[in-house]
Structure formats: C-alpha cells, structure tokens
Amino acid sequence: MGKKQAKAAYFRAFYLETYSTKLYLYSIQTITPYQDYKALYEQQLQLNKEQAATIEKLTKTAEEQALTITSLQLQVANLQKMLFGSKKDIFKPTASNTLQGTLFDVPAIAEVVVENKKKITYERGTQKIQVAHKGRNPLPTHLRREVIELQPVEDVSGLTAIGEEVTEVLEYQQGELYVKQYKRKEYLQPSSDGLHAKRIIATLPSLPIEKGIAGPSLCAHLLVSKYVDHLPIHRQVQIFKRDQVAIDESTICNWFKKLGGYLETLYEAHRQQVFTTNYLAADETHYPVLDKNKKGTTHKGYYWVYQNLESGDVLFEYQQGRSGDYATQALQGYSGYLLTDGYAGYDAVAANAAITRLNCWAHARRKFIEVQDMHPAVVDVLQTIGHLYTIEQACKDSYFTPTQIKEKRQTASVPLLKELYQQLVALKASSIPNTPLNTAINYSLNRWKGLNIYTYDGTLPIDNNLLENKIRPIALGRKNYLFAGNHEAAQRSAILYSLFATCKQHNVNPTNWLTFALTNIAQHPINKIQQLLPKNYTKIS
C-alpha cells in the first residue's frame, strides 16, 4: 500500500470513530436525558399537599353547607310552628316508642283512684248512647237572686199547689259608675268668753288621691282592668265615654302615679315575705320602656321575677338591664335553693356557698323538642324525660308528702337520670359540633348536676313552669299597651303585678282586695302593714 492509500485509510478510520462517538452522545442526550430525582420528589410532595388542601377545603365546605341547610331547615320549622303550630312543647313519639304497659322496671308509681269520671258507651248499629254525666255546675249561692213568680194562664182558684219548679237563668248587668256624695254639716261652737268660735265639721274618710274625684273602688277598677284584664287606659276612657263620663287619659295616668306610691309600703312588706324562705325560683323577661335619651326607639328593660316556692307568692322587680349584678343585689343575704334556667347571669349568685342552684328540666326538654323533627334520634331522650314527668304527676295526683316524693324520686327518678345521662353521652358522640342537636345535648350535660338536685328534696319542683306562668301577664301587656312610659312607671307596674299575682295565688278577688286596701291603708298602723296584703284579706275583711 502506498503512502497515499495509508493516509486515506487513517483519516477514514478517524472520521468513523468521531462520528460514532457523536452519534452515541446524541442518542444519550435525546433518549435518556438526565433526571433530577430530588427536585421531582419535592415537586410531587408539594403537589400532594395542594391536592390534600383542596380535598379538605371541599370537605369542610360540604360540612358547612350541610350545617347551614340543617340550620335553615330548623329555622323554617320553628317559624312554621310559631305561625301555625301549638305554643306548647309537644313530644311526638314514634309508633315504636309509644307508652305501652309499665313505663319502666321500677315499683308502681302510685295507685290513683279517680271518681266521677265521664263514662260514655255506644253501639254503632243501633245508635244507642248512654252517658253518665255529673250534670250542670250549680250557680253560686252568693249571687243576688231576682225572684219572678209565674202563674199559669188557666184558672187555678181553689186548687192546692203540690210543688214548685225552679229554673235559674244567669243574667248580667253592666258595671255602674255612680257618685258618692258626702254632705257634712258645719257648726260653730262659741268659746266661753264669747269672743271666739270653733268650727266643727265631720272628717272626710281617707281617699287614695287627695283632693281627687276618684274613690277607692274606681281606682281599684282602673288598676285591675289594666294589669289583670290588660285593658290599656285609652280603651277604658272609651268605655267611660259610652256612659257620658269624660275623664282625660292624662288624669288617669296621674292617678296611677300617685297610687303606685301609695302601695309602695305594701310592696316592701310583700318583698320581705317572698324572700323569707329556703326555696326560691327566679326568672326574667324583657319589657320595652320609653326613654327620653333614646329617640325613635324604646329601652329594653327587664322584669326580674322571684317566687317563694313554699307560699307561691311572686315578686316583680324592674331593672334597666339583664346584668347578673341585679340578681346578686336582690339575693343579698338569701340562703337556700335557687331554681333558674341556664342563663349565665345567675352564675355569680350560684358562686355563693349559701345558695344551691338547681336547673329547670322544662328548659332542657324544650331544646330537644325544637330539634325532634330534624333528628329522630332524640325520641328516646324525650321518652325518658317524659318518664320523669310521669313520676312527678303521679306523686301530685296521690297527694304525696315531701318525704314521700323524695323517696319516690330516689327509687324511680334517679335510675332514669343515670340512663338518660348515658343516652346523652352516646348521642353527643355521633352528633356534629355546633349544630342545634349538639347544643341541646351540651345544654343538659353542662348543667347535669343542677338538673339532678331536685331529687334530693321533695319540696323542690322539677321545673320552673309555675313561675313562667306568673310572667304571662307581662307578655299580654306588651301586646296590649306596648310599653311603659318611663322607668318609674315600669317599677310602679312591677308593684301591681306583684300584688295581683299574689291575689291569684290565694284566690282573692283583686278588685275587692284593692278597694279594701285603698280604703284602710291610711289609718292602718305601719308596723302591721303586712295585714293588708292579699293573702290576709279574707282574715280581716
């Protein structure tokens, strides 16, 4: 081979090798490029976090939407109940939870014998009806009788009457406004020396409104019409006008102002008797009051109400707010039991070692009643609470003494309360936080000790319903005369609400009592003023 051929072969081999190397490097770069696995790993972690956050957000949004839907459905149900339903708290048991046989495995509650019940039997085929009815209630004997003798149209001369048939018809005569005119002869008695003379005239009886035209009976009628029968003053003025008697509304308002001050001494004596007990219930309700410092709106005042659970007497006290300080001030020096709802304003009072606070089962039950249509699981809870009330009713029907009531509660109610506690704990574990159902459960569990205290003393009631019934006149007043004219007028109303509620408690006619009290209060010894309270009216009248 020559030099040219050898040189050509060398260069050919060199180029082939160089081309192969470049082709190899190109294939590596294009087919299997370099991978940064650490960066890829970190990127995947970040992607996973973002996906998890998105899923969590979607889940949370779904839960919030479900809570919102449930809450709105509950609001709609409550509004429908307010508009079209019963105002009572009614438990709706399912078919599988209706009461059948004995309520629970405990000794019989009581054997109650009820006589004179209506017995009605009928046969569908023959339409035969037998009714054992106790008859019409007799008319009261204290009513005035106007006797009218009727003779037959036939000639009865020479005949002997063999009997007499009496038919009584109840009639009504409208109340009468009349004038009581006092005539007092005036005399002059000369002195012994004949230079002077003494004027002698009879003393007028005391009048509730000095130099006024309103006598005790009219004042009593006006006050009872407003605070018992809930007739606003302007309606009473219209009634008087139908009898051609014109009395300005402002005049009657001034009378009320003076009468409220007149009865304040009775109110203070009543207050002392209400708090003279070891068993007290408390509640509060709002009342709108006109305030010159609030233009275009009313002030939201509150009536704080206290009931002596032994005598049943009630005290209304007006305050300008709902702070617990008002209850603390009112209950200074009190020791004993205090029955309330779950309002936190009473917590400071309950911190006093001398006061034992117990809670109301009606309020706890009401929260479950409100959600029973949304959560059928509460049926068992309401069923158990119903058993507690069945025990109380049986004790009442059997006229049990406080000692017997305590024994029955310990043997029958305490086991039910333990069972109820387990039901609430289990129901809470499956409930969604911050839902109405969860709120109802927590309301009872957080006050469980206070809800059990009633079983320790047979004098204590299971709930605060008796006091709530005493507050109903306030709600009726809000609908009729809308608001109090000022804070002083609201407190005067509290005086009258207190005294009239006591009249109702002791079955005393409020008009008769107030007429008697206004007639005699001026001459009555101040140290014996409690004798004029409604509870003592029948003893001294």
User: Do the Cβ atoms of 355 and 362 come closer than 8 Å?
Assistant: no
According to the model, what pLDDT value does residue 535 have? 87
Q: Is 187 helix (H, G, I), strand (E, B) or coil?
A: strand
What are the helix and strand counts (H, E) for the chain? Answer: 18, 9
Q: Is 296 helix (H, G, I), strand (E, B) or coil?
A: coil
According to the model, what pLDDT value does residue 4 have? 62
Confidence (pTM): 0.73
According to the model, what pLDDT value does residue 174 have? 74
CA distances from 521 to 138, 493, 525 (A): 37, 19, 8
According to the model, what pLDDT value does residue 30 have? 52
User: Do the Cβ atoms of 339 and 281 come closer than 8 Å?
Assistant: yes
Cα 208 from Cα 244, distance rounded (Å): 24
Convert 96-113 into a string of H (helix), E (strand) and C (coil): HHCCCCCCCCCCCCCCCC
According to the model, what pLDDT value does residue 25 have? 54
Per-domain boundaries in the chain = 262-527
User: Do the Cβ atoms of 499 and 259 come closer than 8 Å?
Assistant: no
* Sequence-distant contacts of 225-231: CB under 8 A, at least 24 apart: 226/481, 227/473, 227/477, 227/493, 227/496, 227/497, 227/500, 228/473, 228/500, 228/510, 230/473, 230/476, 230/477, 230/479, 230/480, 230/481, 231/480
Q: Is 305 helix (H, G, I), strand (E, B) or coil?
A: strand
Neighbours of 329 (CB within 10 A): 13
Mean pLDDT by 10 residues, the chain (541 residues): 63 60 55 64 80 75 71 70 62 51 40 41 50 70 87 86 85 81 87 84 84 89 92 91 89 90 91 92 90 82 92 92 89 91 86 89 90 82 92 91 93 94 90 85 92 93 88 80 82 92 92 92 86 82 52
Cα 398 from Cα 394, distance rounded (Å): 6
User: Do the Cβ atoms of 397 and 112 come closer than 8 Å?
Assistant: yes
In 32-168, at which residue ranges do the beta strands (DSSP E only) sit? 119-123, 128-132
Burial of residue 511 (CB within 10 Å: 0-12, 13-18, 19+) is middle
- Which DSSP state fits 462? S
**H or E element that contains 63:** helix 37-84
According to the model, what pLDDT value does residue 291 have? 84
Non-local (6+) Cβ contacts of 516 within 8 A are 532, 537, 541
Neighbours of 393 (CB within 10 A): 13
CA distances from 132 to 114, 119, 122, 206, 385 (A): 15, 5, 12, 56, 36
